[in-house]
Amino acid sequence: MSSDLESLPGVGKELAKKLVNGGYPTIESIIVSPPKEISENTGIGFDTVLKIQNAAHEAFNVGFKTALEFYERRRQMLRCTTGSKRLDEILGGGVETQALTELIGEYGTGKTQLCMMLAVTAQLPPEEGGLGGNVAFIDTEGTFMPERIYQIAEARSLDPNKIANNILVARAYNSNHQGLLINHLFTMVPENNVKLVVVDSMISHFRGEYIGRDNLAERQQKLNMYLHKLIRLAEAYNIAVVITNQVQTNPAQYFGNPIHPAGGNVMAHACTHRVMIKKGSQGTRVARVIDSPYLPDKQAYFIITEKGIEDTPEKK
Ligand code: GTP
Ligand code: MG
Protein backbone atom coordinates (compact mmCIF):
# COMPACT_ATOMS: atom_id res chain seq x y z
CA MET A 1 0.00 0.00 0.00
CA SER A 2 2.64 2.53 1.05
CA SER A 3 4.74 1.59 -2.00
CA ASP A 4 1.93 3.11 -4.07
CA LEU A 5 2.38 6.37 -2.15
CA GLU A 6 6.17 6.15 -2.30
CA SER A 7 5.93 6.29 -6.08
CA LEU A 8 4.93 9.95 -5.67
CA PRO A 9 7.85 12.36 -6.07
CA GLY A 10 8.81 13.77 -2.69
CA VAL A 11 7.07 11.09 -0.67
CA GLY A 12 9.50 8.84 1.16
CA LYS A 13 8.96 6.05 3.65
CA GLU A 14 8.28 8.39 6.58
CA LEU A 15 5.63 10.50 4.86
CA ALA A 16 4.01 7.42 3.32
CA LYS A 17 3.74 5.89 6.78
CA LYS A 18 2.16 9.03 8.23
CA LEU A 19 -0.35 9.12 5.37
CA VAL A 20 -1.31 5.47 5.77
CA ASN A 21 -1.64 5.81 9.55
CA GLY A 22 -3.76 8.93 9.13
CA GLY A 23 -6.22 7.07 6.92
CA TYR A 24 -4.87 7.90 3.43
CA PRO A 25 -3.47 4.65 2.11
CA THR A 26 -3.84 5.34 -1.62
CA ILE A 27 -3.20 8.11 -4.13
CA GLU A 28 -6.94 8.20 -4.78
CA SER A 29 -7.73 8.87 -1.13
CA ILE A 30 -5.29 11.80 -1.15
CA ILE A 31 -6.79 13.34 -4.26
CA VAL A 32 -10.32 13.37 -2.91
CA SER A 33 -9.59 14.66 0.59
CA PRO A 34 -9.35 18.33 1.59
CA PRO A 35 -5.73 19.31 2.44
CA LYS A 36 -6.71 20.65 5.85
CA GLU A 37 -8.23 17.32 6.80
CA ILE A 38 -5.15 15.38 5.64
CA SER A 39 -2.88 17.72 7.57
CA GLU A 40 -4.92 17.33 10.76
CA ASN A 41 -5.17 13.57 10.54
CA THR A 42 -1.54 12.89 9.65
CA GLY A 43 0.36 15.66 11.42
CA ILE A 44 2.00 16.57 8.10
CA GLY A 45 2.35 20.34 7.55
CA PHE A 46 -0.26 22.00 5.35
CA ASP A 47 2.24 23.14 2.67
CA THR A 48 3.73 19.68 2.41
CA VAL A 49 0.23 18.24 2.04
CA LEU A 50 -0.40 20.63 -0.85
CA LYS A 51 2.81 19.45 -2.56
CA ILE A 52 1.83 15.82 -2.05
CA GLN A 53 -1.60 16.53 -3.50
CA ASN A 54 -0.09 18.19 -6.57
CA ALA A 55 2.11 15.16 -7.12
CA ALA A 56 -0.94 12.91 -6.66
CA HIS A 57 -2.91 14.87 -9.24
CA GLU A 58 -0.07 14.60 -11.73
CA ALA A 59 0.31 10.89 -11.08
CA PHE A 60 -3.35 10.41 -11.78
CA ASN A 61 -3.44 12.77 -14.71
CA VAL A 62 -6.36 14.65 -13.20
CA GLY A 63 -7.23 17.32 -15.69
CA PHE A 64 -8.74 17.55 -19.12
CA LYS A 65 -9.89 14.51 -21.05
CA THR A 66 -11.24 14.39 -24.58
CA ALA A 67 -14.94 13.79 -25.14
CA LEU A 68 -13.96 10.53 -26.82
CA GLU A 69 -12.22 9.35 -23.65
CA PHE A 70 -15.31 10.30 -21.65
CA TYR A 71 -17.51 8.46 -24.12
CA GLU A 72 -15.38 5.31 -23.93
CA ARG A 73 -15.59 5.42 -20.15
CA ARG A 74 -19.36 5.87 -20.17
CA ARG A 75 -19.65 2.84 -22.44
CA GLN A 76 -18.16 0.69 -19.69
CA MET A 77 -21.07 1.61 -17.44
CA LEU A 78 -23.00 -1.36 -16.06
CA ARG A 79 -26.53 -1.51 -14.69
CA CYS A 80 -27.68 -3.54 -11.73
CA THR A 81 -31.19 -4.95 -11.63
CA THR A 82 -33.45 -4.14 -8.69
CA GLY A 83 -35.50 -7.28 -9.27
CA SER A 84 -38.41 -5.20 -10.59
CA LYS A 85 -38.45 -4.74 -14.36
CA ARG A 86 -40.56 -1.62 -14.12
CA LEU A 87 -38.29 -0.03 -11.55
CA ASP A 88 -35.26 -0.94 -13.67
CA GLU A 89 -36.94 0.68 -16.65
CA ILE A 90 -37.45 4.06 -15.00
CA LEU A 91 -33.81 3.92 -13.87
CA GLY A 92 -32.75 3.51 -17.50
CA GLY A 93 -32.09 -0.23 -17.11
CA GLY A 94 -31.08 -0.56 -13.46
CA VAL A 95 -28.83 1.11 -10.91
CA GLU A 96 -25.87 2.59 -12.80
CA THR A 97 -22.17 2.31 -12.12
CA GLN A 98 -20.12 5.53 -12.26
CA ALA A 99 -23.03 7.24 -10.52
CA LEU A 100 -24.44 8.00 -7.11
CA THR A 101 -28.05 6.83 -6.70
CA GLU A 102 -30.03 8.18 -3.79
CA LEU A 103 -33.09 6.38 -2.40
CA ILE A 104 -35.33 8.79 -0.56
CA GLY A 105 -38.38 7.97 1.50
CA GLU A 106 -40.19 8.00 4.78
CA TYR A 107 -39.85 5.32 7.45
CA GLY A 108 -40.77 1.84 6.22
CA THR A 109 -40.96 2.66 2.52
CA GLY A 110 -38.44 -0.06 1.64
CA LYS A 111 -35.12 1.78 1.20
CA THR A 112 -33.19 -0.75 3.28
CA GLN A 113 -35.03 -3.60 1.61
CA LEU A 114 -34.00 -2.32 -1.80
CA CYS A 115 -30.38 -1.95 -0.64
CA MET A 116 -30.30 -5.54 0.64
CA MET A 117 -31.86 -6.72 -2.62
CA LEU A 118 -29.16 -4.93 -4.63
CA ALA A 119 -26.51 -6.49 -2.37
CA VAL A 120 -27.71 -9.83 -3.75
CA THR A 121 -28.33 -8.91 -7.41
CA ALA A 122 -25.03 -7.00 -7.75
CA GLN A 123 -23.28 -10.34 -7.43
CA LEU A 124 -25.01 -11.81 -10.49
CA PRO A 125 -22.99 -11.78 -13.72
CA PRO A 126 -23.73 -8.79 -16.02
CA GLU A 127 -25.63 -11.02 -18.48
CA GLU A 128 -28.09 -11.79 -15.65
CA GLY A 129 -28.49 -8.15 -14.68
CA GLY A 130 -25.76 -7.94 -12.04
CA LEU A 131 -22.40 -6.23 -11.75
CA GLY A 132 -20.40 -9.43 -11.31
CA GLY A 133 -18.74 -8.30 -8.11
CA ASN A 134 -18.88 -8.03 -4.35
CA VAL A 135 -20.62 -5.56 -2.07
CA ALA A 136 -19.58 -3.15 0.69
CA PHE A 137 -22.46 -2.17 2.97
CA ILE A 138 -22.13 0.67 5.48
CA ASP A 139 -25.00 0.35 7.93
CA THR A 140 -25.55 3.38 10.15
CA GLU A 141 -28.81 2.31 11.76
CA GLY A 142 -28.20 -1.35 12.55
CA THR A 143 -30.94 -2.45 10.17
CA PHE A 144 -28.89 -4.69 7.87
CA MET A 145 -30.32 -8.20 8.37
CA PRO A 146 -28.21 -11.16 7.23
CA GLU A 147 -31.26 -13.42 7.59
CA ARG A 148 -32.99 -11.37 4.92
CA ILE A 149 -30.02 -11.86 2.56
CA TYR A 150 -30.29 -15.62 3.12
CA GLN A 151 -34.03 -15.52 2.48
CA ILE A 152 -33.69 -13.56 -0.77
CA ALA A 153 -30.82 -15.73 -2.03
CA GLU A 154 -32.67 -18.97 -1.25
CA ALA A 155 -35.89 -17.75 -2.86
CA ARG A 156 -33.85 -16.97 -5.99
CA SER A 157 -32.09 -20.37 -5.99
CA LEU A 158 -28.71 -18.81 -5.28
CA ASP A 159 -26.19 -20.23 -2.81
CA PRO A 160 -26.97 -18.15 0.31
CA ASN A 161 -23.60 -18.79 2.01
CA LYS A 162 -21.75 -17.68 -1.08
CA ILE A 163 -23.89 -14.56 -1.45
CA ALA A 164 -23.56 -13.64 2.24
CA ASN A 165 -19.82 -14.24 2.15
CA ASN A 166 -19.43 -11.61 -0.57
CA ILE A 167 -21.17 -8.80 1.33
CA LEU A 168 -18.78 -6.87 3.56
CA VAL A 169 -20.82 -5.09 6.21
CA ALA A 170 -19.62 -2.36 8.56
CA ARG A 171 -21.71 -0.73 11.24
CA ALA A 172 -20.95 3.02 11.46
CA TYR A 173 -21.45 4.31 14.98
CA ASN A 174 -21.25 8.05 14.32
CA SER A 175 -20.65 10.44 11.44
CA ASN A 176 -16.91 10.50 12.04
CA HIS A 177 -16.74 6.72 11.97
CA GLN A 178 -18.88 6.73 8.83
CA GLY A 179 -16.31 9.08 7.25
CA LEU A 180 -13.44 6.77 8.19
CA LEU A 181 -15.25 3.84 6.63
CA ILE A 182 -15.83 5.85 3.44
CA ASN A 183 -12.11 6.71 3.31
CA HIS A 184 -11.33 3.03 3.77
CA LEU A 185 -13.38 2.17 0.68
CA PHE A 186 -10.58 3.53 -1.51
CA THR A 187 -8.45 0.52 -0.59
CA MET A 188 -11.20 -1.94 0.07
CA VAL A 189 -13.09 -1.59 -3.20
CA PRO A 190 -10.21 -2.51 -5.55
CA GLU A 191 -8.77 -5.13 -3.19
CA ASN A 192 -12.07 -7.00 -2.83
CA ASN A 193 -13.56 -6.60 -6.31
CA VAL A 194 -16.40 -4.56 -4.84
CA LYS A 195 -18.90 -3.44 -7.50
CA LEU A 196 -21.62 -2.00 -5.27
CA VAL A 197 -21.24 0.29 -2.26
CA VAL A 198 -24.26 0.99 -0.07
CA VAL A 199 -24.47 3.67 2.63
CA ASP A 200 -27.73 3.17 4.54
CA SER A 201 -28.39 5.85 5.67
CA MET A 202 -26.06 8.58 4.46
CA ILE A 203 -27.58 11.28 6.60
CA SER A 204 -28.97 9.94 9.87
CA HIS A 205 -25.81 10.46 11.96
CA PHE A 206 -25.28 13.93 10.52
CA ARG A 207 -28.84 14.91 11.35
CA GLY A 208 -28.53 13.49 14.84
CA GLU A 209 -25.19 15.08 15.67
CA TYR A 210 -25.33 18.53 14.08
CA ILE A 211 -28.44 20.00 15.59
CA GLY A 212 -29.61 23.58 15.15
CA ARG A 213 -28.84 26.41 12.75
CA ASP A 214 -25.39 27.10 14.22
CA ASN A 215 -24.10 23.69 13.20
CA LEU A 216 -25.80 23.47 9.85
CA ALA A 217 -22.95 24.91 7.77
CA GLU A 218 -20.41 22.52 9.27
CA ARG A 219 -22.75 19.58 8.79
CA GLN A 220 -23.36 20.44 5.14
CA GLN A 221 -19.65 20.90 4.50
CA LYS A 222 -18.82 17.46 5.93
CA LEU A 223 -21.71 15.82 4.12
CA ASN A 224 -20.60 17.42 0.87
CA MET A 225 -17.06 16.17 1.31
CA TYR A 226 -18.12 12.56 1.85
CA LEU A 227 -20.64 12.63 -0.98
CA HIS A 228 -17.92 13.81 -3.34
CA LYS A 229 -15.63 11.05 -2.17
CA LEU A 230 -18.37 8.57 -3.00
CA ILE A 231 -18.85 10.02 -6.50
CA ARG A 232 -15.12 9.87 -7.10
CA LEU A 233 -15.13 6.25 -5.93
CA ALA A 234 -18.00 5.39 -8.30
CA GLU A 235 -16.21 6.98 -11.24
CA ALA A 236 -12.71 5.76 -10.49
CA TYR A 237 -13.64 2.11 -10.05
CA ASN A 238 -16.72 1.88 -12.31
CA ILE A 239 -18.92 0.83 -9.39
CA ALA A 240 -22.48 1.62 -8.32
CA VAL A 241 -22.92 3.66 -5.15
CA VAL A 242 -26.34 3.67 -3.52
CA ILE A 243 -27.16 5.83 -0.51
CA THR A 244 -30.39 6.31 1.39
CA ASN A 245 -31.90 9.53 2.62
CA GLN A 246 -34.89 10.48 4.71
CA VAL A 247 -37.53 13.09 4.10
CA GLN A 248 -38.24 16.05 6.28
CA THR A 249 -41.33 18.16 6.64
CA ASN A 250 -41.07 21.90 6.54
CA PRO A 251 -43.82 23.12 8.88
CA ALA A 252 -43.36 26.71 7.68
CA GLN A 253 -44.35 25.84 4.13
CA TYR A 254 -48.02 26.40 3.36
CA PHE A 255 -48.01 26.03 -0.42
CA GLY A 256 -46.82 23.12 -2.54
CA ASN A 257 -45.38 19.92 -1.10
CA PRO A 258 -43.98 20.46 2.42
CA ILE A 259 -42.09 17.13 2.31
CA HIS A 260 -38.49 17.39 1.08
CA PRO A 261 -35.50 15.08 0.94
CA ALA A 262 -33.14 15.86 3.84
CA GLY A 263 -29.66 17.22 3.19
CA GLY A 264 -30.68 20.29 1.21
CA ASN A 265 -28.83 21.47 -1.88
CA VAL A 266 -25.65 19.60 -1.02
CA MET A 267 -27.47 16.29 -1.29
CA ALA A 268 -29.50 17.37 -4.32
CA HIS A 269 -26.43 18.40 -6.30
CA ALA A 270 -24.18 15.52 -5.36
CA CYS A 271 -26.51 12.67 -6.28
CA THR A 272 -26.69 11.65 -9.93
CA HIS A 273 -30.09 9.99 -9.67
CA ARG A 274 -32.66 10.64 -6.97
CA VAL A 275 -35.43 8.09 -6.44
CA MET A 276 -38.34 8.97 -4.19
CA ILE A 277 -40.18 5.98 -2.71
CA LYS A 278 -43.66 6.13 -1.24
CA LYS A 279 -46.15 3.62 0.07
CA GLY A 280 -48.94 2.78 -2.40
CA SER A 281 -52.18 0.93 -1.78
CA GLN A 282 -52.28 -2.75 -0.71
CA GLY A 283 -48.65 -2.88 0.37
CA THR A 284 -47.27 -1.68 -2.97
CA ARG A 285 -44.48 0.87 -3.24
CA VAL A 286 -44.22 3.68 -5.79
CA ALA A 287 -40.79 4.82 -6.93
CA ARG A 288 -40.30 8.05 -8.83
CA VAL A 289 -37.16 9.40 -10.43
CA ILE A 290 -36.70 13.07 -9.57
CA ASP A 291 -34.13 15.64 -10.81
CA SER A 292 -32.15 13.24 -13.02
CA PRO A 293 -29.84 14.74 -15.67
CA TYR A 294 -31.05 12.32 -18.35
CA LEU A 295 -33.78 10.06 -16.98
CA PRO A 296 -37.36 11.24 -17.48
CA ASP A 297 -39.49 11.92 -14.41
CA LYS A 298 -41.42 8.63 -14.33
CA GLN A 299 -42.83 6.35 -11.68
CA ALA A 300 -43.04 2.59 -11.19
CA TYR A 301 -44.83 0.29 -8.76
CA PHE A 302 -43.07 -2.58 -7.01
CA ILE A 303 -43.64 -4.91 -4.05
CA ILE A 304 -41.47 -6.27 -1.26
CA THR A 305 -41.65 -10.08 -1.15
CA GLU A 306 -39.79 -13.15 0.01
CA LYS A 307 -37.68 -12.81 -3.16
CA GLY A 308 -36.73 -9.25 -2.24
CA ILE A 309 -38.12 -6.74 -4.71
CA GLU A 310 -40.50 -7.67 -7.53
CA ASP A 311 -42.93 -6.11 -9.98
CA THR A 312 -46.49 -5.75 -8.78
CA PRO A 313 -48.54 -8.65 -10.19
CA GLU A 314 -50.70 -6.51 -12.48
CA LYS A 315 -49.95 -3.17 -14.07
CA LYS A 316 -51.17 -0.29 -11.93
P1 GTP B 1 -36.29 3.60 7.51
O2 GTP B 1 -34.92 3.04 7.47
O3 GTP B 1 -36.92 3.43 8.83
O4 GTP B 1 -36.36 5.02 7.04
O5 GTP B 1 -37.21 2.74 6.52
P6 GTP B 1 -36.84 1.97 5.17
O7 GTP B 1 -37.33 2.76 4.03
O8 GTP B 1 -35.44 1.53 5.16
O9 GTP B 1 -37.79 0.70 5.28
P10 GTP B 1 -37.41 -0.83 5.14
O11 GTP B 1 -36.64 -1.08 3.91
O12 GTP B 1 -36.85 -1.30 6.42
O13 GTP B 1 -38.85 -1.44 4.88
C14 GTP B 1 -39.59 -2.04 5.87
C15 GTP B 1 -40.80 -2.67 5.22
O16 GTP B 1 -40.38 -3.70 4.32
C17 GTP B 1 -41.65 -3.36 6.23
O18 GTP B 1 -42.61 -2.47 6.74
C19 GTP B 1 -42.28 -4.46 5.45
O20 GTP B 1 -43.43 -3.94 4.80
C21 GTP B 1 -41.28 -4.76 4.36
N22 GTP B 1 -40.52 -5.99 4.64
C23 GTP B 1 -39.43 -6.09 5.43
N24 GTP B 1 -39.00 -7.37 5.47
C25 GTP B 1 -39.81 -8.06 4.69
C26 GTP B 1 -39.87 -9.45 4.33
O27 GTP B 1 -39.07 -10.25 4.75
N28 GTP B 1 -40.86 -9.81 3.49
C29 GTP B 1 -41.75 -8.93 3.01
N30 GTP B 1 -42.70 -9.35 2.19
N31 GTP B 1 -41.73 -7.62 3.34
C32 GTP B 1 -40.78 -7.19 4.16
MG1 MG C 1 -33.89 1.69 6.50
Q: Whose CA is nearest to atom 1 of ligand 1?
A: 107
Q: Is the previous residue joined to 201 through a cis bond, with omega within 30 degrees of 0?
A: yes
Which atom of ligand 1 is closest in space to residue 145's alpha carbon? 24
Q: Whose CA is nearest to atom 30 of ligand 1?
A: 305
Q: Residues within 5 Å of ion ligand 2 by Cβ? A: 111-112, 143
Question: 134-143, 148-157, 165-174, 261-270: which range is least confident on average?
Answer: 261-270
pLDDT reading at 23 higher than 80: yes
What is the reported pTM?
A: 0.88
Angle between helices 175-191 and 216-236 (to 10 degrees): 10
Read off the pLDDT band of 2 (50, 70, 90): very low
Question: Per-residue pLDDT tens for 277-316?
Answer: 999 999 999 999 998 878 888 899 999 999 999 999 875 4
Q: Across residues 130-148, what is the average pLDDT?
A: 98
| Ligand 1 mean position, distance from CA 147 (Å) | 13
Read off the pLDDT band of 181 (50, 70, 90): very high
Confidence at residue 315, expressed as pLDDT on a 0 to 100 scale: 54
Main-chain phi, psi angles of 158, to 5 degrees: -105, 160
Confidence at residue 254, expressed as pLDDT on a 0 to 100 scale: 73
Confidence at residue 1, expressed as pLDDT on a 0 to 100 scale: 44
Cα 289 from Cα 95, distance rounded (Å):
12
pLDDT > 90 fraction of the chain, expressed in percent and rounded: 77
Q: What is the pLDDT of the chain when averaged over all its residues?
A: 92
Q: Whose CA is nearest to atom 15 of ligand 1?
A: 108
pLDDT reading at 60 higher than 80: no
Confidence at residue 3, expressed as pLDDT on a 0 to 100 scale: 54
22 and 41 Cβ atoms separated by less than 8 Å: yes
C-alpha radius of gyration, the chain, whole number: 20
Q: Per-residue b/e over 264-284, b at no fewer than 16 CB within 10 Å?
A: eebbeebbbbbbbbbebeeee
Q: Across residues 114-124, what is the average pLDDT?
A: 98
Cα 289 from Cα 102, distance rounded (Å):
10
Cα 302 from Cα 316, distance rounded (Å):
10
Ligand 1 cavity residues, CB under 6 Å: 105, 107-113, 143, 148, 246, 304-306
Q: What is the best residue among 113, 284, 303 to mutate for testing ligand 1's pocket, by most ligand atoms within 8 Å of CB?
A: 113
Question: Per-residue pLDDT tens for 78-107?
Answer: 999 999 999 999 999 999 999 999 999 999
| Ligand 2 mean position, distance from CA 84 (Å) | 19
Q: What is the best residue among 304, 306, 309, 312 to mutate for testing ligand 1's pocket, by most ligand atoms within 8 Å of CB?
A: 304
